[in-house]
Amino acid sequence: MTAPHSAPATAAKAPAYRWVILILAWLAFTMTSVDRSTWGPASASVGEALGVSMAGLGVFATGYYIGYVISNAGGGFLTDWLGGRTILSASLFAAGVFMVCFGSSTSAAMGIAFQAVIGLFAGADYSAGVKLISTWFSERDRGMAMGVFMTATSLGTVVANTVVPRLIQWHDWQTSYHFFGGVSIAVAVACYVLVRNGDTGPAAARGRSAALPDLRPMARNRDLLLLGLAGFGGLWGTYGFITWSNTLMVDGNGVDPVTAGTVVAVFAFTAVIGKPLIGLVTDLIGKGRRLPTVVVLAFFSATLLVFGAMDSATAFLWVAPFLGLGAYIYSPLMVTMIPNVAGRALAGSAAGATNAVWQLGSVIVPVVVGAVYQHTGSFYAAFVTLAVGPLVGAAVMLLVREQAPANADARAGAGADTARAART
């Protein structure tokens, strides 16, 4: 039986192996991020090949994100039931298979269906990764691990936008989907062979839990709900900027499209350094992550307003790295808090449920910002609209109750013991 007042036993017994877990979870999450980001640089070529109008291309992305939100909501539950190893490898394997299938699409209807199925599988590995990291890393060093894990979303965008245009130039759009689909399948097989759940007790011996997870404590968890709402506000700003920044800079300020792309690249690259760094710093300080998250979200809101007040490419480039820090480094802090407020026994379900709520922000904000800009014609009004999200998120985070780091693992361990006792 796990000692109720100790760090996870798995982390104590195998301190080196937990880095294997982190690398594989990160690699799997990076590949699903690459798979998702491939659509952006490939969409124009896909539309030309399948006879789809520019407006119609949005249906492909909508199909993907419908599946993605569903898989986030359900994938966490499956992770707590079947184990992180199974869901991590199976979801990535299936996403890779349907990436290959999409690369062989011969009609728009077939392509939209395949995109929806890719999203349906691709969203589950996030919860599986959070669950595995929560199991193998104690509360005292989990922040840095989550920071590394969360760089996957930024790196996925960088890899796809670097590789896909060249693959299309050298061959065709199908090649990019076949290539990344194949790599995803290979990584999935490696995860299945090398990853271990690290759970203790009879469930680990069978490779899955003895009973379905009891989600009632999660449904009644006030702090988890607040985390979901705060993350909604954060992603409102992050994905609203990613969606509209190029168009707004080009149309609203006459910036060259290549320069606008450079601004966004600088914005995104800061996350690769910032996410692990903020996790490491909060681990070392050991004073919790709620207040740092509040500060980061407030800073993000302020930098959106500053960016919206700029009117030249040079000014945009100066502000971009600061804006990127605000836009990205709150996410590893909030993800690290999930096992704290929900307990490790429901870490997967809680991660999936909160991310589903967060992703709704990225679904709604493009429409709202587009309507504001179309109605006002104001570059600054669009950024004021974006800034509202993280500002509200910061206010909501002030209401979250965070357990002291010294007690977080005791609560998670005791919760896991209670759940196992109830099933036996």
Q: Report the domain count for the chain.
A: 1
In a domain, 180, yes or no: yes
pLDDT of residue 305: 96
Q: Which domain holds residue 80?
A: 9-423
In a domain, 2, yes or no: no
Measure the CA–CA gap between 260 and 316, rounded to whole angstroms: 9
Comparing CA positions, the residue from 205, 241, 244 lying closest to residue 420 is 205
The whole-number average pLDDT for the span 227-246 is: 85
pLDDT of residue 206: 43
In a domain, 4, yes or no: no
Residue that wins the pLDDT comparison between 293 and 242: 293
CATH number at residue 351: 1.20.1250.20
127 band by pLDDT with thresholds 50, 70 and 90: confident
In a domain, 3, yes or no: no
Q: Which amino acid is at 315?
A: A
In a domain, 48, yes or no: yes
Q: What three-state secondary structure class fits 72?
A: helix
pLDDT of residue 321: 92
In a domain, 1, yes or no: no
22 band by pLDDT with thresholds 50, 70 and 90: very high
pLDDT of residue 2: 39
For 32-53, write each residue's pLDDT tens digit: 988 887 876 777 788 888 888 7
pLDDT of residue 205: 41
Comparing CA positions, the residue from 341, 343, 348 lying closest to residue 400 is 341
In a domain, 204, yes or no: yes
In a domain, 201, yes or no: yes
- Got the DSSP string for 156-209? HHHHHHHHHHHHHHHS-HHHHHHHHHHHHHHHHHHHHHH------SHHHHHTS-
Q: What three-state secondary structure class fits 141?
A: coil
